[in-house]
C-alpha cells in the first residue's frame, strides 16, 4: 500500500537475507504478516554464499584428497592423486547455487517480497531503500535488522583481494597456493588452513595468543594441535604481526614472536582475526538505536532493541556469531512480532569447529559447572573403544559428558572426534528436555554407530559402564 506519494507500507521489513533474515521473513509470513526482505547482495548471506557452506565443501574436498593419499594401511594405494582445483571450486559453487536457489523458492512460496538494495534508516519507522535505478521509502510496523558481519581488517594487513585475503577470497582462489600464511588461530583460520594443507599447501599459522582456538577446552585443542603437526602445519603462537610486504612475487609478513622479530613468506596471507558487525552504515541513530563499543546492537530476550518497533538478530546482536543462532533468533523475533510470548534461551547453544578432528560442545564445561555451584560428575568415553569409529579409521578423540552428581542431569558435553558436528545435536536435545544420564543410558542406540559414545559416557555418569573400566 502506498501512503500518499511517499512510502510503501509493510508489516515487517527484514534487512538482510542471511540465515537470520530469510528465516525471520519466512516465519513472519507464515504467521500472517506482509513481509519485505531487503538485501544488498545475494540471498543466503555470508553463510550460504561466502562462509559456512562453501567452506565446508572445500574442507570436504581436502578431506577426500587426504584420505586417498593416506589409505595404504587399509590396503588402498592410490598413485599420483590429481586435483583439478577449478572443478573443485565449480562443484563448491554448484552446492551454493542449489541452496540459495532453494531459499529463493521458499521466500517466493511464502509470498515474501524480495528487494535487492541498500537500506538506510530515515526515522523510527521508515527506511530508504536504494536500488540501481531509484530510491524507495518504506514505512514498517516492525523491522528486523539482520545485516550480519564482515571480516575484521588489521591496519597493518589491509585486504587487497590478491595477496592479502579474507575468508571470502580464500574460498574462490583460482589455484592452490604453494604457501599460505594464516593470521589468526581461531576456527575460521584453522578450518581453511587445514583444508588447504590437505590439498598440498604449505601452511603457517600465526596466532597472537599463547594457544590456538582460545577459549576452547585445552583437552580438546590438544588433539587438533597434534593433527596439525602431523599435517606439517607450522603453528606459531605469541606472534604479533607488524607489517606485510607485497612488492615481490609473493608476500612477506613480519611478526614479533616472543620478543624476537621474524619474517614469514608465502603466496597468500589469509587474515582471519574475527568479524565485525555490519551496523555502521545503516543510519541506526536516526531510528533511535545505539550500538555498543564493538558495534553490536543491544537487545532484550525477545531480540527487541531500544526502539520497540525494531528487532536485531544474528551477528549484529552480539556473540556468538553463529548461523544457527541467527536463525533461532529470527524465529523468536518473528513470533514476538506476531504476538507470541517467545524469548531466547541459549542454555544449550551448540558450537562446532570443523577442524581435524572435529570439535563440538554445548552447555557447561566441568569448570563452568563448578563455578555455578554444581557438584559435578564427569565421564569421558574414547572413540578408540567405539566400533564404528575404528571401522571409519577415525578413532581419535572422546565424548565427554558433564552432569550434576546428585540428579545426574546433563549439564553439558564436549566432543572431539569423527562427526562431532552431528553428534552434538543429541546432547542439545537432552539438555533442552531436561534429560539425565540415566535417560540417555537407557535409550537404545544402534550398533555399531558413533552416537553410542554418548550412551557409554552417560553410563559412566550412572556408575555402570560396560565398555570402559569403572573408576
Binding residues for NAD(+): 184-191, 207, 274
201, 175 contact by CB (below 8 A): no
DSSP string over 222-250? HHHHHHHHHHT-EEE-SEEEEEEE-SSSS
Q: What are the binding residues?
A: 56, 147-149, 184-191, 207, 274, 315, 321-324
Q: 279: alpha, beta or left, given left = phi > 0 and alpha = psi -120 to 50? A: alpha
CA pair distance 45, 41, nearest whole angstrom: 7
Active site residue 445: no
Q: What are the binding residues for FAD?
A: 56, 147-149, 315, 321-324
CA pair distance 355, 341, nearest whole angstrom: 38
The torsion angles phi and psi of 240, rounded to 5 degrees, stand at -100, 110
CA pair distance 141, 240, nearest whole angstrom: 48
Please measure the distance between the N-terminal and C-terminal CA atoms of the chain and give it in whole angstroms: 70
CA pair distance 359, 351, nearest whole angstrom: 8
CA pair distance 209, 198, nearest whole angstrom: 25
The active-site residue out of 66, 73, 142, 447 is: 447
Looking up cell 536435545 gives 429
Q: How far is CA 17 from CA 56, 113, 127, 201, in A?
A: 20, 12, 16, 34
- How many CB atoms within 10 Å of residue 343? 13
CA pair distance 273, 355, nearest whole angstrom: 17
Residues that are catalytic: 447
Amino acid at each position: 500500500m502506498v501512503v500518499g506519494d511517499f512510502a510503501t507500507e509493510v508489516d515487517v521489513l527484514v534487512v538482510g537475507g542471511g540465515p537470520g533474515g530469510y528465516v525471520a521473513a519466512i516465519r513472519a509470513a507464515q504467521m500472517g504478516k506482509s513481509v519485505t526482505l531487503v538485501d544488498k547482495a545475494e540471498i543466503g548471506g555470508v553463510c550460504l554464499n561466502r562462509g559456512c557452506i562453501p567452506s565446508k565443501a572445500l574442507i570436504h574436498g581436502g578431506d577426500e584428497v587426504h584420505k586417498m593419499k593416506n589409505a595404504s594401511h587399509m590396503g588402498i594405494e592410490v598413485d599420483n592423486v590429481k586435483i583439478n582445483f577449478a572443478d573443485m571450486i565449480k562443484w563448491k559453487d554448484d552446492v551454493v547455487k542449489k541452496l540459495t536457489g532453494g531459499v529463493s523458492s521458499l521466500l517466493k512460496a511464502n509470498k515474501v517480497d524480495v528487494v535487492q538494495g541498500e537500506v538506510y534508516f530515515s526515522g523510527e519507522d521508515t527506511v530508504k531503500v536504494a536500488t540501481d535505478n531509484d530510491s524507495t521509502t518504506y514505512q514498517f510496523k516492525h523491522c528486523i535488522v539482520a545485516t550480519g558481519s564482515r571480516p575484521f581488517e588489521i591496519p597493518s594487513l589491509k585486504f587487497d583481494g590478491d595477496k592479502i585475503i579474507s575468508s571470502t577470497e580464500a574460498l574462490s582462489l583460482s589455484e592452490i597456493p604453494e604457501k599460505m600464511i594464516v593470521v589468526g588461530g581461531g576456527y575460521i583460520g584453522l578450518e581453511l588452513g587445514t583444508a588447504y594443507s590437505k590439498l598440498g599447501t604449505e601452511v603457517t599459522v600465526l596466532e597472537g595468543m599463547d594457544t590456538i582456538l582460545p577459549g576452547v577446552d585445552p583437552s580438546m585443542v590438544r588433539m587438533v594441535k597434534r593433527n596439525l603437526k602431523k599435517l606439517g602445519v607450522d603453528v606459531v603462537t605469541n606472534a604479533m604481526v607488524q607489517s606485510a610486504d607485497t612488492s615481490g612475487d609473493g608476500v612477506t609478513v613480519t611478526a614479533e614472536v616472543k620478543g624476537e622479530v621474524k619474517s614469514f613468506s608465502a603466496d597468500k596471507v589469509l587474515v582471519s582475526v574475527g568479524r565485525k558487525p555490519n551496523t555502521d552504515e545503516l543510519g541506526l541513530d536516526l531510528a533511535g538505536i545505539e550500538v555498543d563499543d564493538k558495534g553490536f546492537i543491544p537487545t532484550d530476550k525477545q531480540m527487541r532493541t531500544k526502539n520497540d518497533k525494531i528487532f536485531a538478530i544474528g551477528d549484529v546482536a552480539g556473540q556468538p556469531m553463529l548461523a544457527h543462532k541467527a536463525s533461532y533468533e529470527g524465529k523468536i523475533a518473528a513470533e514476538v512480532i506476531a504476538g507470541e510470548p517467545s524469548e531466547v534461551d541459549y542454555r544449550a547453544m551448540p558450537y562446532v569447529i570443523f577442524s581435524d578432528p572435529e570439535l563440538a560442545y554445548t552447555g557447561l564445561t566441568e569448570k563452568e559447572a563448578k563455578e555455578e555451584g554444581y557438584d559435578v560428575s564427569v565421564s569421558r568415553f574414547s572413540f578408540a573403544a567405539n566400533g564404528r569409529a575404528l571401522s571409519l579409521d577415525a578413532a581419535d578423540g572422546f565424548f565427554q559428558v558433564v552432569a550434576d552428581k546428585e540428579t545426574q542431569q546433563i549439564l553439558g558435553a564436549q566432543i572431539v572426534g569423527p562427526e562431532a558436528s552431528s553428534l552434538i545435536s543429541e546432547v542439545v536435545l537432552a539438555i533442552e528436555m531436561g534429560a539425565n544420564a540415566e535417560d540417555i543410558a537407557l535409550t537404545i542406540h544402534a550398533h555399531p554407530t558413533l552416537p553410542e559414545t554418548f550412551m557409554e559416557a552417560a553410563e559412566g555418569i550412572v556408575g555402570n559402564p560396560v565398555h570402559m573400566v569403572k573408576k
